[in-house]
Every structure is written in C-alpha cells, then in structure tokens.
Amino acid sequence: MDFSGIKAVISDMDGVLWRGDTALPGLRLFFDTLRARGLPFALATNNSSKTQADYVRKLARLGVPGVPETAIITSGTATADYLRAHYPPGARVHVFGADGLRAVIAAAGFTLADSNVQAVVAGLKWDLTYDDLKRASRLIMAGADFIGTNPDATFPLPDGLAPGAGSMIAALRTASGREPIIVGKPHAPMFEAALAALHSAPAETLMIGDRLDTDIAGAAACGLRTALV
C-alpha cells in the first residue's frame, strides 16, 4: 500500500485501540502520529452500548484528550440516523440494549416504550435477562420492525472474547422468526457517515479494524483502503 496517498483515517476502537478498559500498545503514539502529520481521523465502532461523550471521556482517560464528539461514529448513532430517515419524530421505539443506546435513541427524538411500538432496536445488552428476550421478541412477533445495531457475534474483553450484539440479535431472530435490518458494519451507513465527517474520498481513506467480516469487508466494499489489526 502506498501510504502517501492516504489523506484520512477511520479506526475501529474495541480490539484496535483497547480491550475493555486496557489501552493496547501504541495508543497515544498512534494519535500523536496522526496529529503530527495532519491526518484527520474518525473513530467508528459497532459497539452501541456507549454514547459519543462516553468515548470522548474514555479516550481522555487513556491519554488521548481533545477528540471531538463529531469524530465518533457508533452503530447507535447510525441507527438513530436510520430511524430519523424512516420514522416520524416521537415514534415509539423499544430499545433492547444498554443505557448508552437508550440515550442515543431518546436524544434523536424518539419515545422509548415497552408496548405499542413501531420498532424494536436491538444491540449489546450487558445485563441481559430472559424477560428482556421475551419482551422484545413478543413485540417483534406482534409486528414491530426489527432493527439490529450490528452483527458482531463476539465482543473483545481483556480476558477474551464474549458474546456480542450479533449473538443477542440471533436469539431474537430465532424466537420471533423475523429477520432484522442491520445498520452497523459491514453495511455502508457507518462508513458513509465517517467519510462525510472527514470530507474525504474512499480511495484516499484508510480503515483500520480487527474484524475481517465487518471492518475490512465493509470498508473494501465501499472503496476504502484497509488495514487489519
């Protein structure tokens, strides 16, 4: 790869910059290098459990202050954009996911509800219970649209891989008999959002990720250059 042709960088976060709350080697040097070379960057993650502000604070704790919220694209923010494009303001949405996803969907102007909903949005849920699965699957079976934030079957933690949003969405798919609309990587919306934030062309943008099936395959399909961690 001719790196001289790279004018912007998109990076995944979990498994690339850190595992859990542990920074991976070279984290601060990576951002120092981008800034020294004047390369604009965006951080695009399939993790929907945190808000953009959560990630800004985490980066600062790990020694990378000053990252603006606009540089953070999550499958949660991409899902909120999808909802805005397809549902009226205030539409009732059931969120099967973490508090961060709930906050993003509420901030986008939708009403969080557990009954009479137009859509069920499913993501990574740390405190998953049987009742959560039962409630969400019944809403989907009753006719609510089924929207998944991302298809990642696993999630990287310091002690190894753990079930990810894709595993939880698979349980809802099996229980309801319905196929979800998936918004996050490898699908185009997240890459398009990152490119728009960077004002860069795909062929001049490098995507760095740790998953061939989402980060790398999705970026390549959108015409970006790719690097696998």
Cβ-based neighbours of 162, under 8 Å, separated by 6 or more: 154, 155, 156
Sign of CA dihedral 8, 13, 16, 22: positive
Residue 85 burial by Cβ neighbours in a 10 Å radius (0-12, 13-18, 19+): exposed
Residues of the chain with pLDDT under 50: none
The span from the CA of 105 to the CA of 111, in Å, is: 8
Predicted pLDDT at 65:
96
Is 132 an active-site residue?
no
Predicted pLDDT at 12:
97
Give yes or no for a contact between 124 and 102, defined as CB atoms under 8 angstroms apart.
Answer: no
Predicted pLDDT at 158:
83
- What are the φ/ψ torsions at residue 68 (nearest 5 degrees)? -75, 150
Is 12 an active-site residue?
yes
Looking at residue 81, the DSSP 8-state letter turns out to be H
User: For residue 76, which of 180, 182, 149 has the smallest C-alpha distance?
Assistant: 149
Predicted pLDDT at 3:
84
Predicted pLDDT at 57:
96
Considering the candidates 2, 14, 81, 159, report the single residue annotated as catalytic. Answer: 14
Span 39-72, pLDDT tens digits:
999 999 999 989 999 999 999 999 999 999 999 9
